[in-house]
Amino acid sequence: MERLRFKNGERACEILMTWRKELAKHTAARAELKRAQTPFDVAQVGFYHLLIRRLREAGYSVNSFNSDRVAVAAALVARLRYHNGHSTFAKQMSEPRRGAPLISKIRLKRILAAEEDEDIIRELSSVIRIMGDRANITDMADGVVNWNDWTRRDWLYRYYGNTDI
């Protein structure tokens, strides 16, 4: 089994973006996922299981250790209307608007402090709204699925523009 990563060039990335495109046509499922506040809420949406099945068929490991994080990513992907792959999700949060970063440093601290899946959904849902439902979908999903101290540090450095550390 291959480790699940949503990086450019990875098959998982293609699967996620295809699923997202199909989700746009299933408005009821998209609405349910947009309202989801927990991984359990997401797991009750049949369309989510299509994503899981496709990832497993492609040889990716989706199991009891990471299925909740995949559910969190699916809930957040449903909230995004536009994919902007020109920079990383963390860098997009720091883009200036009216002389200040789009996402404040205080909000960034709350995001990076999120431990529970529900906290990640709540914090990043708010960020997505502020960003106008436009962000790097695959980079955000990869960070959420692989949420750990390394991911937090990576987002922190990218937010401040220190990408070569």
Q: What is the pLDDT of residue 164?
A: 56
What does each of the 165 residues of the chain score in pLDDT, given as a tens digit?
678 999 888 999 999 999 999 999 999 999 999 999 999 999 999 999 999 999 999 999 999 889 999 999 999 999 999 999 999 999 999 999 888 999 999 999 999 999 999 999 999 999 999 999 999 999 999 999 999 999 999 999 999 986 655
Residue 37 contacts residue 121 (beta carbons within 8 Å): yes
pTM equals 0.94
- Distance, in Å, from the CA atom of 27 to the CA atom of 9, rounded to the nearest integer, reads 28
Q: What is the pLDDT of residue 33?
A: 98
**Chain position carrying tokens 């997401």:** 42
So where are the chain's domains? 11-158
Q: What is the pLDDT of residue 53?
A: 97
Q: What is the pLDDT of residue 64?
A: 87
Identify the CATH homologous superfamily for domain 11-158. Answer: CRISPR-associated protein Cse2 (1.10.520.40)
For residue 108, what are the contacts with CB-CB under 8 A and spacing of at least 6? Answer: 93, 155, 156, 159
